[in-house]
Chains A and B, each alone.
Chain A
Amino acid sequence: MKVVDAIVGNRGSSAVLVLGSFFVLWQLAVMIFNPPAFIIPSPWVILQEIAAEPGWYLGHALYTLQACLLGFALALLIGVVAAVGIVYSRFLEHTLYTLLVSLNSIPKIALAPLFIIWMGTGISSKVAVSMLIALFSIVIDTVLGLRSVDPDAIDLSKSLRASPLQILFTIRFPNALPAMFAGMKVAISLALVGAIAGEFVASQVGLGYVILVAQGMFQTTRVFAAILLLGVLGTVLFYLVDMAERLLIPWHVSHRTAQGAAPEV
């Protein structure tokens, strides 16, 4: 366990333990009850399926990953700019914020077919759906973070004759980072959902496409293989954001308790 700890951290090691047990139980259940493979294959068979065509799966996974990352990056860029606008402008708060909230109450997957019509079946429509679905949580949490500044810190900055831009970058942004990362953790998973949703509607590549085609031919093992890869992809992406958070905001309360006392310098 020590080795695992060193690689993925404490939380990671318990995740490995829990997931490992899950797959062992699954494997045992399939071996004991022996259901038909088109209903539910064993994990071992799924792994063999992936191992048989690793390059093919990798290609599809990378396509989905690309759509997801581009969507996430766009959502982050647009979301943060929008949030700054909303925080600084009463007009934008009343218009853009209201619009976003009502837009968010629409299931955005329902918009995916529209984007296929507008942007074609290429990657751009998947990126668009992915971006749209990830955008909301980033905007909401960034607005929250930018707003929840100690008024004394603003007064202090003003008393030091700081410009509004200096206050934004020196006080508000660092202060907003913990909230922004909370939003980004939700957003990265949603971005993957968006990418898959786009691929479900119309695509020739990607793990969503793999699932759809395999399902049509009752290749259940292949469906499971794609799902497994999606699970791995989603988990890795989440922990990447988590790691970025630890690197960027080591001062935050949630990390202090996790690390205990500060390292001696």
Chain B
Amino acid sequence: MRQAVWGGGGGGETHRGAALTPAGAARNVTTDPFPGVGAPSYVQVRGVDKIYHAKKGDILALKGIDFDLRQREFLSILGPSGCGKSTLLKCLAGLAPISAGRIEVKGVPVNGPPENMGIVFQRDVLLEWLDILDNVLLPIRFARLSKHEWEPRARQLLETLGLKGFERRAPWELSGGMRQRVSICRALLRNPELLLMDEPFGALDALTRDELNLELQRIWVADAKTVLFITHSIVEAVFLSDRVLVMSRNPGRILDTIEIALPRPRPLSIRETPEFGVYVAHIRRLFEGMGMLKGTG
């Protein structure tokens, strides 16, 4: 069970298709098929274009992007490489300017990185000269807050992610999966409302990836953040998300939005169920429509 902190009002249960249910509905995590539905939108993206000015002419990276990221929703953006999904995340994070349209976080236009945001990149970006604990505490260092005060929180996060005992290790002593866990701890340290993840498991082997998918779901079920998750894996997107936005490339546009009505928490084995397969097949057809995944070269 989770309580919405923001957006007020404890509504009734959210049910399948209950798009009119008022905001802040308490949610039963095991059966609720449409978590974010009806929740107030946390991020609004309207008519966003992004043009890169290159020497050989302008490149239209994003065209007419429109979507809402609802409060406490797990939203995936799925697309082939080069479709501008990472660019979209950068714009949303206030790290890159947009060329047209608007992006608002909690009703405030994005103008530089908003507060209360955590980012996880594909590469863990751990600082090699700091030990694991200090890497997790990096946000505190930048915010000039008391390291001492935040250390228990950092240690507890590391423990939650199975890294107890590694606090004083150097990053290079850890495996790729462990390093990415550390970077997740770092993103969660200040308990952000918004979590942006840019293909966080893209560089990991399949088993580690499965494991981290499960852990991310566990963390999210326990303490729902509003999550924007970028991936190029159909299975990963369907497994983790409340909704999946499918993007095409040249220029980057949103092709389709799919609500994933699967109960949570989802075991890995859910990926072998027919219901799961229907989603995957649907998305695969979308990619085939783009001329991909046809196997004909």
Chain B interface residues (CB < 8 Å from chain A): 90, 93-95, 112-113, 115, 117, 119, 121, 123, 125, 127-129, 138-139, 141-143, 168-173
Contact = CB atoms under 8 A, between A and B. Distances in A.
Contacts, number: 61
Given A249-B129, A251-B129, A262-B173, A159 B123 contact: no
Nearest to A256: B172
Interface stretch (A32-40, A93-101, A123-131, A147-155): A147-155
A153 B127 contact: yes
B119 A161 contact: no
A219 interface: no
Given A150-B125, A155-B119, A158-B113, 14 more contacts: A152-B123, A155-B90, A155-B121, A156-B138, A157-B142, A160-B138, A161-B142, A161-B143, A174-B127, A174-B129, A251-B129, A251-B170, A256-B172, A262-B172
Nearest to A150: B125
Interface in A211-265: 249, 251-252, 256, 262, 265
B95 A155 contact: yes
A259 to B, nearest CB: 11
Contacts of B168: 265
How big is the A interface, by class? 20 to 34
Interface in A144-176: 150, 152-153, 155-162, 166, 170-171, 174
A159 B119 contact: yes
B115 A161 contact: yes
A170 B112 CA distance: 20
Chief secondary structure at chain A's binding surface: helix
Contact of A251 (B93, B95, B128): B128
B125 A159 contact: no
Q: What does DSSP make chain B's interface, helix, strand, loop or mixed? A: loop
B173 A170 contact: no
Closest 10 CB pairs of A and B: A162-B142, A251-B128, A174-B129, A160-B142, A159-B113, A159-B119, A152-B125, A152-B121, A160-B139, A153-B125
Nearest to A161: B113
A171 B113 contact: no
Contacts of A157: 142
Nearest to A166: B142
A175 to B, nearest CB: 8
Which of A156, A161, A174, A256 has the most chain B CB atoms closer than 10 A to its own CB?
A156
7 contacts: A150-B125, A152-B121, A152-B125, A155-B90, A159-B93, A262-B170, A265-B168
Given A166-B142, A174-B127, A156 B170 contact: no
B121 A156 contact: yes
Interface string A11-26: 0000000000000000
